[in-house]
Amino acid sequence: MPSTALYPNAVPSSSLLDDKQVIERIFTHIDKGTTDLGDTVWREPVEHYHSQERFDAEIALLRSRPVPFCPSAGLPDKGSYIARKAAGTPLVVVRGHDGQVRAFINACRHRGMQVASGSGCSRALVCPYHAWAYDLDGKLKTIQGREAFPGLDPEEHGLVEVSAREKGGIVYVMQHGTISPDMLENSVDLFSPQQALFQQGELTDQSNWKLITETLLEGYHIKSLHRKTFYPYGLDNVNVVETYGENARVIFPFGRIEKLRDVPADERRAEGMLTSVYHLFPNASVSVLSKHSSLTIMEPLSPSSSQLVTYSLTNTQVNGKQTPTEEAKRDAQFVKESGQDEDREAARLIQETVTASANSHLTFGYFEKAIVNFHQHLLRSLGQ
């Protein structure tokens, strides 16, 4: 098993490089003017970014497999809940009195009103329309004006449950079918119980969810798109790119990694020297930075619009201490100011051209190995 020092918040997959190996590879790339390469050129038809038929197939896929919904840290206490749409379905995920996480379709069994909104903590889920109340296990416990509903069996009118499972600090949900342990066996444990959620937010963009995902998975654009933001701190097109099954990890080193040149190899630590982006197929990513980590879910809203749902957590440092919240917030603000908005704008502008006659397809080359891996597995998963 590789060293866990690269991410003291997690236990890396055995297929991924450790600190020493990553740093050595980065120095080799810097010295030789190279980067990690793929071996396939991929051509993705532009209609896949605006076709309603393709969009519907992708939504069906997202509902039929386990996908990240939120970090476990977002449900810290018994009664903690988060309610939002996932693949177009209103869901509420709650930690029960027994400490177990459960997910339900967020619809009262009376008239379909959503029983929760946003996030919070409660001893029960109470519909705001007519005050029908549900226990944290989804059972219907109270009907206001019970006499008006003769013959209604409360046992048959609990909230409709969907499958949920926690793995590596992430809550996964699956709307159709049941999550089995083997479905998550290739996932990496990315968050530890010590990490605390300090920020969550949602942004809506006029771009297909795949275009946003693609911006996260290559460093070929660093100098040209982020010349005044990230590039002064980072390196252009110098990346370590690893794929493990349908998932991937892309490492973006900072220029300050050069400080490790004179440090003995066995003593080198990557903390503060790079950013890692894990792509959790199909529509989520985890970014690990110096002071904080974030889970982002790219929620498709329509063929040409998406919602980015982001949860930010403090990091546990190598010395075991928790990063102060204010430092984590500054780290998160740096990410926003160092290129995140530019990536989003790039995706929006590309969306405007995919319905034009300029391209029949978008082309991804050897520098875009993780994106090729994404599209290969997406096509295979859709059975196309």
Where are the domains positioned within the chain? 19-59+189-381, 67-178
**Which residues, 6 or more positions from 271, have their beta carbon under 8 angstroms from its beta carbon?**
5, 6, 8, 290, 317, 318
282 upstream amide cis, omega within 30 of 0: yes
DSSP 250: E
Question: Rounded to 5 degrees, what are φ and ψ at 242?
Answer: -125, 135
Residue at 170: amino acid letter = I
Q: How far is residue 145's CA from residue 123's CA, in Å, rounded to a whole number?
A: 21
| pLDDT for the residue 46 | 98
Please report which confidence band the pLDDT of residue 9 belongs to, taking 50, 70 and 90 as the band edges.
Answer: very low
Between CA 191 and CA 169 the distance in angstroms is: 5
- Is 187's pLDDT higher than 90? no
pLDDT recorded at residue 335: 82
**Beta-bridge mates of residue 42:** 364
Helix (H) or strand (E) holding 210: helix 209-215
DSSP class per residue in 81-136: EEEEEETTEEEEEEE-TTS-EEEEES--TTT---S--EEEE-SSEE-TTT--EE-T
**How confident is the model over 25-44, as pLDDT tens digits?**
999 999 999 999 999 999 99
pLDDT digits (tens, 9 = 90+) for 132-151: 999 999 999 999 999 999 99
DSSP string, 60-82: HHHHSS-EEEEEGGGS-STTEEE
Name the region of 354 (left: φ>0; alpha: ψ -120 to 50; beta: rest).
alpha
Query: Which tens digits make up the pLDDT trace of 248-268?
Result: 999 999 999 999 999 999 999
pLDDT of the residue at 301: 98
Q: Are 325 and 334 in contact (CB under 8 A)?
A: no
CB 12 within 8 A of CB 188: yes
Q: Is the pLDDT confidence value at 222 over 90?
A: yes
pLDDT of residue 264: 95
- Measured CA distances, 173 to 119, 135, 177, 204, 330 (Å): 17, 20, 10, 22, 31
Structure tokens at 88: 């177009």
Pick the CATH number of 67-178 from 3.40.50.12280, 2.102.10.10, 3.50.30.10, 3.40.50.1980: 2.102.10.10
Tell me the per-residue pLDDT of 314-341, one tens digit each, with 9 for 90 and over: 998 777 788 899 999 998 988 877 788 9
Beta bridge partners of 247: 244
Q: What is the pLDDT of residue 322?
A: 84
What whole-number percentage of the chain has pLDDT above 90? 88
Q: Residue type at 75?
A: L
Residue 164, SS3 per DSSP = strand
**d(C-alpha 315, C-alpha 283), whole Å:** 23
Tens digit of each residue's pLDDT (9 = 90 or more) over 109-119: 999 999 999 99
Fold classification of 19-59+189-381 (topology level): Naphthalene 1,2-dioxygenase Alpha Subunit; Chain A, domain 1 (3.90.380)
Task: Kindly tell me if the per-residue pLDDT of 67 is higher than 90.
Answer: yes
340: helix, coil or strand?
helix
pLDDT over threshold 50, residue 2: no
CA–CA distances in Å: residue 70 to residues 52, 210, 251, 375 = 27, 20, 23, 24
Residues 6+ away with beta carbon under 8 Å from 356: none
Mean pLDDT taken over the chain: 94
* Residue 36 backbone phi and psi in degrees, to 5: -65, 140
Please report the pLDDT score of residue 13 as a whole number: 53
Distances in Å between the alpha carbon of 76 and those of 26, 70, 94, 222, 339? 37, 12, 10, 37, 31
Q: Is the pTM of this model over 0.85?
A: yes
The half-sphere exposure of 45 on its side-chain side, counting CA atoms within 13 A, is 7
Residue 8 has pLDDT above 70, yes or no: no
Q: How confident is the model at residue 14 (pLDDT cuts 50, 70, 90)?
A: low
C-alpha count within 13 angstroms, C-beta hemisphere, residue 283: 28
* Under 8 Å between Cβ of 222 and 236: yes
> What pLDDT is recorded for position 10?
42
What pLDDT shows up at residue 279?
A: 98
If you average pLDDT over residues 159-185, what whole number do you get? 96
